[in-house]
């Protein structure tokens, strides 16, 4: 029965977008990260990203991250600034303590900007965070 199915709630796992200096190209890049602020690792992390608005949508990008240790982060992808005018969605799935977790994180259009920066858990950096 449906009432017997337990759907675990994702806690202390976040998505952040950070503006970082790229030595190779001599400029700033915007990179997305998954942050695991839990006391246990998350395993088999899989992230599907897409951007969309009323007129356009991007291709789906799939990222197999693997394991993200407790109190650490892992880079997902670089995001081009042209996509900030779109909603940017990150669908995250992972296993932790033998259970499958799934959550969608949404950066609404025009919310990725330096004015929205805050201190990020675990990363010792500032960026835009979605919980």
Q: 6 or 67: whose pLDDT is higher? A: 67
6 pLDDT band, cuts 50/70/90, is confident
Average pLDDT over residues 9-22: 97
CA 14 – CA 77 distance, rounded (Å):
15
Q: What is the reported pLDDT for 1?
A: 59
- Give the pairing of strands 61-68 and 72-79: unpaired
Percent of the chain residues past pLDDT 70, beyond the cut? 98
**At 3, is the pLDDT very low, low, confident or very high (cuts 50, 70, 90)?**
confident
Alpha carbons 78 and 80: distance in angstroms, whole number:
7
Contact 74, 107 (CB under 8 A): no
pLDDT at position 5, please? Answer: 76
Beta strands in the chain (DSSP E): 13-22, 27-36, 42-52, 61-68, 72-79, 87-96, 99-107, 118-119, 126-130
pLDDT tens figures, 82-114: 999 999 999 999 999 999 999 999 999 999 999
């Amino acid at each position: 029965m449906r009432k017997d199915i337990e759907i675990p709630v994702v806690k202390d796992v976040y998505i952040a977008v950070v503006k970082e200096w790229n030595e190779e190209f001599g400029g700033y890049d915007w990179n997305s990260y998954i942050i695991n602020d839990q006391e246990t690792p998350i395993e088999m992390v899989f992230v599907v990203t897409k951007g969309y608005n009323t007129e356009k949508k991007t291709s789906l990008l799939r990222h197999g991250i693997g394991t993200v240790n407790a109190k650490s982060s892992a880079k997902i992808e670089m995001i081009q600034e042209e996509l900030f005018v779109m909603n940017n969605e990150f669908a995250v799935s992972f296993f932790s303590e033998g259970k499958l977790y799934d959550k969608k994180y949404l950066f609404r259009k025009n919310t990725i900007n330096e004015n929205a920066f805050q201190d990020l858990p675990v990363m010792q950096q500032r960026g835009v965070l979605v919980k």
